[in-house]
Structure formats: C-alpha cells, structure tokens
Amino acid sequence: MIELADIHKSYGATKVVRGLTLRIAPGELVSLLGPSGCGKTTTLRMIAGLERPESGRIAIDDREVCGPRTFVPPEKRALGMVFQSYAVWPHRSVEANVAYPLVLQKVPAAEREERVVEALRWVRLDHLRHRMPHALSGGQLQRVALARALVSRPRVLLLDEPLSNLDAALREELRAEIAALRARLGTTMVFVTHDQSEALALSDRVAVMNRGVIEQIASPEALYLEPATPFVAGFVGGSNLLEGEARGGAFHTGGVAFVLPSALQDATGPGTLAVRPADLRVGAGEVSLPLSARLFLGHAVEYRFPFGDGLLRAVGPACEAKAGDRVAVRLDGATFFPRR
C-alpha cells in the first residue's frame, strides 16, 4: 500500500532521514516510534508530499508518487492527515470544518451533508455539529480533526501524535476510537508517536526510529520480547542497559557480577546487557546495591539504584526495603547484545 525505498532527507547539513525503507500493507496500522528529533514527522510529511526527499522512492497503492523524475503534490495523493496541533479552523463550526475538504472537491451539497454527518458519527460528535471550536474540549477538537481527515474516505490516514495534547483518560478513549474506526473502515494508517505504550497498544507493527533510521520493525510482542538492538530494548521495554562482559555464567559490570539467567549461561565476551525493570528482582540474589529511591506506582513499586554513572530501575511488588538500605538484586531475565 505504501512503500518507501532508501529515503534520504537533510535540512541544510543535518541528515534527518538516512536510508529509510518501509513497506506498509493495505489496512495495516504501522507506528513510527522514536525519541524527539529522530525524523518521524519528516518521514510522515514525505509520505504526504509536504516534504521532498533528496533521494529514494515513495509509492502509494503501486503508484510512484515520488522518485527521481516524479513528484505528485499532496492534494493529488488522496491521503488524510491529522496533526498534533488540531489545525481546526476557529471561525468555522464543527460541521463546516468537517465539510471543508468536500467543498474543495466540489462534492454536491446533499451528498456533502450526508457524508459530514456520517464522519461526525464515526467520531461520536454528531450531536455537536453546530458548535464553534472555542466551545469544544481538547478531545472534541481532536475528533473534529479526525472526522475532517476521514470525510474524504482516504485509503491512507497519516496521524502525527494526534493524542499528545490530551489527558490520560481521553487518550485512552480516542485510542480505542481510532482502533475501532480502522476495523470498520479498513483504512491503512501510519501513526507517529513517541509514546511506547500507545504504539504497542494500537499497532500491527511498530517501526522504532533512531537518528533517521529504522532500528527495528516488528509486531509489538516481538519488539518487546526480542529487541534487535540495545536502543530498541531501552526505548521500548524501558530496559536498563549495562555495559560489561559476559564470562563464566555471569555478567561483570560496574564492579559487580550478576549471575546470568539460564538462557544466557553460554554468553561470552564484551557487550551490552538489557534488563527490563520487571526482570530485575529486588530482595534476592548475590549482588547488593544501595537503594536511592522507592516510588509507589500504584500497581507496583519502582526501586532506583545509583549504578555507574546512571541508575538501575527495578519494578516489582512492595517489599520492606527503604531508601538508604543495601538491597539484594538478581536478574530474572535479560537480553545480551555482544559488542560488534
């Protein structure tokens, strides 16, 4: 459905996207996940035709929209797009905002009316169609933007952090809404976010971006359970990343030796050990570390240990330990990345 092949893009001397290749199947929801500045928005804007890469090809629905000798402008790519800032026109009612793309397409008034009502129903805003934007909440404004992007029935919808201005409850609600809409309409979606839980919850596949390249693209489960690089392990699982050496069934780092989990008993040599906070067991084990903070999370407790020039984070059930204590810790699971 969407194909990007070896895309390069710079702003001045800064290379922002470096050889990005990505294929998205019809009806698929793929998230671009990565830290601020890694090139997510730039990638989305290139798919939309709002930016032009220096090299590489982009095809949508088997039609080349960008290549050495082709460039199809945004309005001819038939995509829907929702931006982080709702970009809802303040002087137009909800209805007029949503109708606008159809006005541009010269859709006859009667059909337009029908489609606007339909799109507003999709996002459950039909009861507010005559309201002005200033009288809407953030979540409602975001729904207007979503309805406006969907009213043309695009086969592809590009979403750039569409939920980031919303509070936690609204985010969850709209997240569910987007999932339901996709199931109903079969729209192919590219969803940009820097929130890993959002990406994992919504996507068929997640592309983890770092400094203009995709480090790994995989299903949420695969990404979480089998991260391909330390960066992915750190970004997606929130893993602790330890530099050191695997030797004799232990991992030597920062002056201590953690016994490696049984699956890693044969690991040897220098490398990075990624340990998810839930896999760092507190209250048992042969290594003991000073506890610097204990944070109540509701469902669990986070324990922080100063380690090297950083912090080790563990998440688990509440225990007796308090800040200042030396506490035993053990690895219940880990991923080893040998140094390349």
Ligand X SMILES: Nc1ncnc2c1ncn2[C@@H]1O[C@H](COP(=O)(O)OP(=O)(O)OP(=O)(O)O)[C@@H](O)[C@H]1O
**Residues at the site binding Mg ion, with contacts judged by CB under 5 A:** 41
Containing H/E element for 312? strand 310-316
**Binding to ligand X by residue 31, rule CB under 6 A?**
no
Contact with ligand X (CB under 6 A) among 41, 142, 187, 188: 41
Query: Which residue's CB is nearer to Mg ion, number 41 or number 240?
Result: 41
Q: Which does 36 bind (CB under 5 to 8 A by kind): Mg ion, ligand X, none?
A: ligand X
In angstroms, what is the minimal distance from the CB of 172 to ligand X?
Answer: 21
| Measured CA distances, 165 to 149, 219, 236 (Å) | 18, 26, 21
Q: Write each residue from 194 to 233 as x if it is in contact with ligand X (CB under 6 A), else as -, in one continuous string.
A: x---------------------------------------
Q: Which does 296 bind (CB under 5 to 8 A by kind): ligand X, Mg ion, none?
A: none
Do the Cβ atoms of 88 and 144 come closer than 8 Å?
A: yes
Per the document, the length of the chain is: 340
Containing H/E element for 99? helix 94-104
Q: Which residues contact 285 (CB under 8 A, 6 or more apart)?
A: 258, 259, 328, 329, 330, 331
Say if strands 205-210 and 2-11 run parallel, antiparallel, or are unpaired.
Answer: unpaired
Identify the burial level of 262 via C-beta atoms within 10 angstroms of its C-beta, where 0-12 means exposed, 13-18 middle and 19 or more buried: exposed
What is the phi/psi pair of residue 247, to 5°?
Answer: -160, 130
Query: Which residue's CB is nearer to ligand X, number 42 or number 239?
Result: 42
State both tokens at 36: 């601020």
Whole-angstrom distance, CA of residue 128 vs CA of residue 50: 31
Q: Give CA 281 to chain center in angstroms.
A: 28
Contact with ligand X (CB under 6 A) among 4, 7, 16, 29: 16
Whole-angstrom distance, CA of residue 253 vs CA of residue 257: 6
Is residue 103 left, alpha or beta, with left meaning phi > 0 and alpha meaning psi from -120 to 50?
alpha
Contact with ligand X (CB under 6 A) among 11, 62, 262, 339: 11
What is the phi/psi pair of residue 261, to 5°?
Answer: -60, 160
Q: Which does 11 bind (CB under 5 to 8 A by kind): ligand X, Mg ion, none?
A: ligand X
Whole-angstrom distance, CA of residue 298 vs CA of residue 91: 43
Binding part of the chain for ligand X, among 31-39, 127-135, 233-241, 301-309 by CB under 6 A, reads 31-39
Q: Write each residue from 277 to 316 as x if it is in contact with ligand X (CB under 6 A), else as -, in one continuous string.
A: ----------------------------------------
Q: Write each residue from 161 to 200 as x if it is in contact with ligand X (CB under 6 A), else as -, in one continuous string.
A: ---------------------------------x------
Binding part of the chain for ligand X, among 23-31, 38-46, 94-102, 265-273 by CB under 6 A, reads 38-46
**Binding to ligand X by residue 82, rule CB under 6 A?**
no
Query: Which residue's CB is nearer to Mg ion, number 41 or number 272?
Result: 41
Query: Which residue's CB is nearer to ligand X, number 40 or number 294?
Result: 40
Do the Cβ atoms of 286 and 255 come closer than 8 Å?
A: no
Query: Which residue's CB is nearer to Mg ion, number 41 or number 253?
Result: 41
**Binding to ligand X by residue 37, rule CB under 6 A?**
yes
Whole-angstrom distance, CA of residue 249 vs CA of residue 260: 6
Q: Which does 194 bind (CB under 5 to 8 A by kind): Mg ion, ligand X, none?
A: ligand X
Contact with ligand X (CB under 6 A) among 4, 7, 42, 116: 42
Residues of the shown chain interacting with ligand X in the complex, contacts defined by CB under 6 A: 11, 16, 34, 36-42, 194
